[in-house]
Amino acid sequence: MQIQKRTEKRNLFLIYFGTITSLIGDEIGSVAISIWVALQTDNPINFALVYSAAKFSRIVFSLFSGSIVDSFNKKKILYLSDSAQFVLNIFILFLILLNLDFKLKVFLFCLISVLQGFCLSTFKPSSRAILPEIINKENLKKANSVLEMSKSLISMLAVIFAAGLVMLLGCEVCILINAITFFISALSEIFIRYDFKKKDEQKKAESKLKKIFDGYRYVLSEKELLRFALLASCLNFFCTPIFSNILTYQFKTVFMFNWQSAFSVINKFLKDEKSFLTLLSTIVFFGLGIGNILGSLASRKVSGKNIKFFALVLPAFSFLILGFYFWFLKENNFLFNVILLGGIISSSALLAGFSMGVFNVYVTSLYQKKVQPEFSGRFFAFNTVLIQISSPIGMLIGSSIAAIGIFYPVFLFAGGILFFSYIVYCRFYFI
């Protein structure tokens, strides 16, 4: 029993360490690339194209990756995926350093993003599916809560660290750090103790196509779990473009105002557009991170009856706060103050982050408890398709609207739709 507990703790530590290490680099790299693209062009569609290439490829590959996860050693999938990410990030670094046409760089970024999408399509379901096999199911909610909280805290700190690196050393250093963290993560995952149980000959003989469709049938038969996946898809449709792209370009328009703060240090620090964008983007990620940590802690006390309230109403408030502030700001520029702006966007991000923390821990733990082990890889892969398919669609639509200078109506529309969805649920139990 003691040996089993020690092994379980060791495996959890390695999972945490590998996930958190790669997450540090990923957050730093994401900030670097988004700021780099924003500085190269005023068109938000360019970043949306790179982002959507990764998302759409991940969705397509996830249609088949579930059967790969269920058929092969999940531990090997984890460290091979991270190793591939290390190589791809090195390619990204060389691509930025090369003197190429910007449009060609965007095209090559998209190709690399497709390969990264394949890595994620195998890594994510493997990391979710392996957890119930290496720890006691009674500890799943606690483990997911700690992991989600740790991820939020590290993401928040990593973004702050990235902001400093971008301003002091440039985007290239951040991307190099991202590559190194994936390499370290792959090394840690090699030492996970996991007994891979090979399938018997009869199961090996099953066609891959049949296994894929068996997984789909299983997912569709789990109505409660399917509803949660569709709800998450709805949230991703709005949250992804707003917090990942649209707000950055809203900040670019705000930078054009003749603004001053009450503090000379802040006025001196925010002397150029890069510093301004980096600081405000950091505030957004900081708010999301703090909210996610608090939500992860609160998730242990949230029941299934209340989960949709946290998932719909809090993000609705978050978007409406942004929408009304930027609406008033458009009509009354004298209302602008960098301190007030920081308070508004941090409050909005805090609400959205809290909602994500509660929802992610509750739903992930529910999935891991209810899904049969032989279908776990296919379930999480197909679940990824349902959840993620809305992200690139929302990114492209939202960024196209933002490209013509329409920002606050997007925030107001998103908040209104989520409020309406919650009212429909309460009245008709539709969701």
**Hey, what domains does the chain have and what are their CATH numbers?**
2-192+207-428 (1.20.1250.20)
pTM confidence score? 0.61
pLDDT (0 to 100) of residue 430? 46
* Alpha-carbon 315 to chain mean position: 15
Helices 376-388 and 390-403 cross at an angle (nearest 10°) of 20
Write out the chain's pLDDT in tens, 431 residues: 566 667 777 777 787 787 777 777 777 777 777 777 766 766 666 666 766 676 677 777 776 776 777 777 888 888 888 899 899 889 888 888 887 777 787 788 778 878 887 887 788 777 777 777 777 766 666 677 666 667 666 766 666 677 677 777 777 887 888 888 889 888 888 888 777 666 554 444 455 566 666 666 776 777 777 777 778 888 888 887 888 777 777 777 766 655 555 556 566 656 666 667 777 777 887 788 788 778 877 777 776 667 777 778 888 888 888 888 888 776 665 445 667 777 888 888 888 888 888 887 777 777 777 777 666 666 777 777 777 777 778 877 877 777 777 777 888 888 888 888 888 776 655 44
Interatomic CA distance for residues 426 and 309, integer angstroms: 10
Residues 6 or more apart whose Cβ sits within 8 Å of residue 164: none
Predicted local distance difference test score (pLDDT) of residue 51: 65
Residues across the chain: 431
- Read off the DSSP letter of residue 199: P
Q: Quick check: 296 and 154 in contact, CB under 8 A? A: no
Q: Give the per-residue pLDDT at 214.
A: 67
Within 8 A by CB and 6+ apart from 398, the residues are 48, 241, 242, 245, 246, 410
How high is the pLDDT of residue 255? 64
Cα separation, 193 vs 73, whole angstroms: 12
What is the DSSP secondary-structure string of 326-366?
Answer: HHHHHH-GGG--HHHHHHHHHHHHHHHHHHHHHHHHHHHHH
pLDDT for res 14 = 81
Question: Which positions ≥6 away from 37 have C-beta within 8 Å?
Answer: 46, 47, 50, 106
* Cβ contacts of 392 within 8 Å, gap of 6 or more: 51, 52, 55, 56, 59
Q: What is d(CA 98, CA 288) in angstroms, rounded to the nearest whole number? A: 34
